[in-house]
Amino acid sequence: MPELPEVETLKNGIKPALEGSTVTYLKFYRDNLRFEIPKIFLKKILLGEKVTDVSRRSKYILIKTKVGYAIIHLGMTGNVLYQKDKKPSKKHTHFVIGIENRSGEKEYFHYVDPRRFGFIDALMGDEVTDHPMIERLGPEPLEEKNLAKHLYKKGLKKKIAIKKFIMDASIVVGVGNIYASESLFDAGVLPTRLTCDLELKEYQAISRSIKKILKRAIKAGGTTLQDFKNLQGESGYFEISLKAYGREGKKCSNCKHIISKTTLSGRSTFFCKNCQV
């Protein structure tokens, strides 16, 4: 279930091992994931090169060398497992990146993705915004100081459900289906409300809630998966306590009402009819 907190946690887990290490091994077990894998470019970018930076933008993990970037997206079911062995131990392992760390030891990162909605792409050069999927992205919710005003201004020009709006990566990144329901529940705003009808005050509440929920989930992930390298490939996604998502028919944690479920632009949406206005 990779939403932003999961990707952030994963990035933090692989970063210490990758940065400063040299990529010595690269193996692909298929030609395509969601898109065709640009094997030639990835080899040019990674093989024999030192990793200079590992970062996250939206839900993309960026692995940088002096040649360019490898850009990894986990889709819906992607995961990266750390192993001492280059040989895949899991079904649906699609590629393996091997490094030699500063102590001269070999370490392997296995990309596993049953549904194959994820992808790995290559970008030559050092301008990550040159990538078509990165260039159009909205601000990072945890870095944008004036998120409320940003959303308010963009929201005025549109007439769509607020839930769909905050899930639009060109507006703000990192709010997936789960955290969209959670954030709106926390903010007390109904998911179906139209962007152009919301007041600045409501955007302020939504912004606060998005930041709060994401921060809390990142913290939970960090606590659950403290030492990525000791997990030896067992780094599953962590459990987050959810107040709305998946709680259809259960009692709202704020009041005596029951959490409702509906479908909004094709995605399941959970809310409390009483707490959210």
Number of helices (H) and strands (E) in the chain: give both, helices first. 7, 10
128: tokens are 């990550």
* Nearer to DNA (CB atom), residue 73 or residue 150: 73
Q: Which is nearer to DNA, 37 or 161 (CB)?
A: 161
Residues 189 and 205: beta-carbon distance below 8 Å: yes
Residue in 2, 88, 141, 191 annotated catalytic:
2
List the beta strands (DSSP E) in the chain. 22-28, 53-57, 60-64, 68-73, 79-83, 93-100, 106-112, 119-124, 259-264, 267-272
- Is residue 267 part of the annotated active site? The answer reads yes
Tokens at 246, concatenated: 């998946």
Annotated catalytic residue 127? no
In the sheet that holds 106-112, the strands lie side by side as 22-28, 93-100, 106-112, 79-83
Nearer to DNA, 18 or 214 (CB): 214
**229 catalytic per annotation:** no
- Shortest spacing between CB 155 and DNA, in angstroms: 10
Smallest gap from residue 20 Cβ to DNA (A): 28
Residue with tokens 């030492």: 227
Residues that bind DNA (CB under 7 A): 1-3, 34, 58-59, 73, 75-77, 91-92, 114-117, 133, 157-161, 164, 167, 169, 176-178, 237, 265-268
Cα–Cα separations (whole angstroms), residue 204 to 144, 161, 189, 192: 13, 17, 11, 17
Q: How far is the CB of 99 from DNA (least distance, A)?
A: 26
Pick the catalytic residue: 11, 57, 59, 193?
Answer: 59
| Residue closer to DNA (CB basis): 26 or 156 | 156
Q: At its nearest, how many Å lie between DNA and the CB of residue 110?
A: 15
> In angstroms, rounded to a whole number, what is the distance separating the alpha carbons of residues 185 and 83?
39
Query: 5 catalytic, yes or no?
Result: no
Name the minimum Å distance from CB 83 to DNA. Answer: 19
Q: Closer CB to DNA, residue 106 or residue 154?
A: 154
Q: List residues with catalytic annotation.
A: 2-3, 59, 267
